[in-house]
């Protein structure tokens, strides 16, 4: 007879749900950016009388792939999947580093993002298993 351990849910499940929903939204936006780059892959950048022609097809494929992975991980976070939580922690860590690097440019916004990213990382690591259904 298998014993299943009942996991007590706490208020942190709200942060886990927040992380999952944000991953779904951000991943969806990244996928849209990728599709836009694939369908409109030639860009011209004008500066000081010079024109630079860019082909952003590879950039589009990267954004599309990353977006799909993040959306799937967001869905997995909502069900308590360990791999999805790991991807969520990695995405939040990258966001945290980017916010830290932007601190001199946007101090208030960067501090807000750093705080949210830290809360999301904590929620996913310490309380992520509370989302798992038994």
Interval 115-127: pLDDT, tens: 988 988 888 888 8
Q: Euclidean distance between the first and final Cα of the chain, in Å?
A: 15
pTM reported for the whole predicted model: 0.73
Mean pLDDT of 47-70: 79
Q: Cα–Cα distance between 23 and 100 in angstroms, integer?
A: 20
- pLDDT confidence of residue 71: 92
Structure tokens at 4: 């299943």
- pLDDT confidence of residue 90: 92
- pLDDT confidence of residue 111: 93
Band of residue 108 on the pLDDT scale cut at 50, 70, 90: very high
Domain boundary assignment for the chain: 15-129
Least trusted range by pLDDT, from 20-34, 96-110, 119-133: 119-133
Mean pLDDT of 5-29: 81
Mean pLDDT of 12-17: 82
- Which residue carries 């991807």 as its tokens? 87
Q: Cα–Cα distance between 121 and 86 in angstroms, integer?
A: 9
């Amino acid at each position: 007879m298998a014993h299943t351990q009942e996991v007590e849910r706490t208020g942190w499940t709200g942060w886990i749900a927040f992380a999952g929903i944000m991953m779904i939204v951000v991943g969806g936006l990244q996928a849209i950016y990728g599709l836009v780059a694939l369908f409109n892959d030639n860009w011209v950048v004008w500066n000081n009388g010079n024109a630079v022609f860019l082909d952003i097809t590879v950039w589009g494929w990267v954004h599309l792939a990353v977006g799909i992975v993040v959306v799937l991980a967001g869905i997995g976070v909502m069900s308590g999947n360990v791999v999805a939580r790991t991807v969520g922690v990695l995405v939040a860590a990258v966001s945290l580093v980017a916010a830290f690097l932007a601190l001199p440019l946007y101090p208030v916004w960067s501090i807000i993002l750093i705080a949210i990213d830290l809360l999301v990382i904590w929620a996913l690591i310490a309380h992520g298993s509370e989302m798992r259904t038994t």
